[in-house]
Structure 1
């Protein structure tokens, strides 16, 4: 029995990080992956990370794609969105523009995925910079409510809620996969026929 279990392919949850440049996508990803905060990070073209984690007692792999915030990668971004199973959409609580940009990111994802139940978390990063806050909690929660998605504030610097956003998203991805996979193989309908001579 244990041999058969070892042969099972590992479950992989594909997470895509989206948001404007400079909101902390890479910092959040690196904090989750390696427990380190990188203050000065070169603008990302797109980096992929994979990590084994235990999600509610089950060992799974998380595949994280840290996308570029720059607009010139829009065509490539559509391909990334197609491959993603769940999305962390980041903005900086210190930057109103990055918050407004989340609307465009969500619209692009919905257009590419053609599914408005796609696992998605709205993430307000840089929560450690409360004194420089431009986006109120109420404003962000209101948007999340309109979209029917969770809203979480994080800080890549202090590690606040970093694990939470990745694990919450993986749970949502897992639940969606479970809901979409057939529970039992469909029973074949057999029709009895009699041959008349």
Structure 2
């Protein structure tokens, strides 16, 4: 089973933890409790292939953003989160996207998904879908609108990212052979 490290990044209070917990544990976190760092693990089946995910839910607070560089270096895939009810949080996504490309070497095939949260709060919406679609197309990245509360499109985000990571980091057939050889005994 292949293992992937996913880093969830975004401004404070946009719903990173709610998104992560909904996907990993299938529960909704009702109350906001600022995260410093939380790691979740889960085996998932996407397209009939099993993968093991380590999802790192990061802090959005300004005092912890210096840790982002460490997280980005170790990440295989990234979920960039903003709130559909906070237009300012979208600017943070662009800044994080640029930071990822700078740290990872500007490679355009870095697995990234852009996620707008709080889709269920339609009356409070500040970011329009066409604006996001335009940005996502300009960046060449997939974009999803989600609601962790209602469990709308949450799995789609992570399944897309798993597919991207599999393509970017193909299985090493030599490693599989070596692993199988370890269990072989000659008498």
* Same topology, TM > 0.5: yes
1:120 aligned residue: 112
Correspondence list, 1:128-143, <5 A: 128-143=120-135
Change (3 A) 1:96 1:111: same
Partners of 1:48 and 1:68 lie apart in 2 by 11
Instruction: Give me the CA root mean square deviation.
Output: 1.6
Q: Deviations over 1:105-125 (max 9, x none)?
A: 111111111123211111111
- Give the Cα separation in 1 of the matches to 2:27 and 2:78: 22
Q: Following TM superposition, by how much is the alpha carbon of 1:74 offset from its aligned partner in structure 2, in angstroms? A: 2.3
- Asked if structure 1 preserves the Cα contact closer than 8 Å seen for 2:13 and 2:32, the reply is no
Partner of 1:4: none
Unaligned runs of 5+ in 1: 1-9, 185-197
Aligned partner of 2:55 in structure 1 is 64
**Residue aligning to 1:150:** 142
Q: What do the CA deviations read for 1:138-180 (whole angstroms, capped 9, x no partner)?
A: 00001100100111100000000011101110100101112xx
SS of residue matched to 2:33: coil
Secondary structure class of the residue paired with 1:32: helix
Residue 17 of structure 1 is matched in structure 2 by 8
Where 2:169 maps in the other structure, the secondary structure is helix
Q: Distance in 1 between matches of 2:67 and 2:142?
A: 27
Residue matched to 2:94: 103
- CA drift of 1:32 comes to 0.7
* Distance (whole Å) between structure 2 residues aligned to residue 135 and residue 157 of structure 1: 19
Give the structure-2-normalised TM-score.
Answer: 0.89
SS in 1 for 2:161: helix
Q: What TM-score comes out, normalization by structure 1 length?
A: 0.84
Following the alignment from structure 2 to structure 1, what is the Cα–Cα distance between the partners of residues 173 and 139? 29
Unaligned 5+ runs, structure 2: 175-187
